[in-house]
């Protein structure tokens, strides 16, 4: 089976393999009447509230941002850097990066030629790091996680620096 390039496809393939392995270990048992639970109105209300909360939180992810303070707040996980698109005026910038993933991450900023202009050190899960200030001139930059192959899996974004 070829290895898919998309992280979501990897998750589906891993889930299918895990399901087959568990089915071999735990054979199916016939269902008894006592196992069937009828959903009461209170249970339905709790389920609906949980679904609405999940939908509301899913809409809170930020895909783009404009910052004028010089402190860019980023959140990194295994496959994303949020926000993905940032616009800032030229000048000194610091990155404040929070690792919301389960692995160690770092974030780097490279100019159009691929030269590194700023980078955090290793950030452990649940921790944050702030870079020293670094100067940005007008242009386009790539924000990415240089560890392992995270950038190839989607942990990257863009940074646009304006003239003012």
Q: Give the whole-number percent of the chain exceeding pLDDT 90.
A: 46
- Specify the number of domains making up the chain: 2
- Both 34 and 69 in a single domain? no
- Both 46 and 69 in a single domain? no
Confidence of residue 40 (pLDDT cuts 50, 70, 90): confident
**Pick the residue with more confidence: 77 or 62?**
77
pLDDT in tens, 87-132: 999 999 999 999 999 999 999 999 989 999 999 999 999 999 999 9
Cβ–Cβ under 8 Å, residues 153 and 81: no
Domain of 50 in residue numbering reads as 8-58
Which of the listed residues 58, 73, 91 is the one where a domain comes to its end?
58
pLDDT at 10 exceeding the cut of 80 = no
CATH code for position 98: 2.60.40.420
- Both 97 and 25 in a single domain? no
- Both 14 and 78 in a single domain? no
Q: What's residue 60's pLDDT?
A: 46
Beta bridge pairs of residue 17 = none
Q: What's residue 59's pLDDT?
A: 46
pTM for this predicted structure: 0.60
- Both 80 and 37 in a single domain? no
Cβ–Cβ under 8 Å, residues 164 and 91: no
> Which residue's entry shows tokens 């399901």?
19
Confidence of residue 66 (pLDDT cuts 50, 70, 90): low
- Both 23 and 93 in a single domain? no
Do the domain assignments include residue 1? no
């Amino acid at each position: 089976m070829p290895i898919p390039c998309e992280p979501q496809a990897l998750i589906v393939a891993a889930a299918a393999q895990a399901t087959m392995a568990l089915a071999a270990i735990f054979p199916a048992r016939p269902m008894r009447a006592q196992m069937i639970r009828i959903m009461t109105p209170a249970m339905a209300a709790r389920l609906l509230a949980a679904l609405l909360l999940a939908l509301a939180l899913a809409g809170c992810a930020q895909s783009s941002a404009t910052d004028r303070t010089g402190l860019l707040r980023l959140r990194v996980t295994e496959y994303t850097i949020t926000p993905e698109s940032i616009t800032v005026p030229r000048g000194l910038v610091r990155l404040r990066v929070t690792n919301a993933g389960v692995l160690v991450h770092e974030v780097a900023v490279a100019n159009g030629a691929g030269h590194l202009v700023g980078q955090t050190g290793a950030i452990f899960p649940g921790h944050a790091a702030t870079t020293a200030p670094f100067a940005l001139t007008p242009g386009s930059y790539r924000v990415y996680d240089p560890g392992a192959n995270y950038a190839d899996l989607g942990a990257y974004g863009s940074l646009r620096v304006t003239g003012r």
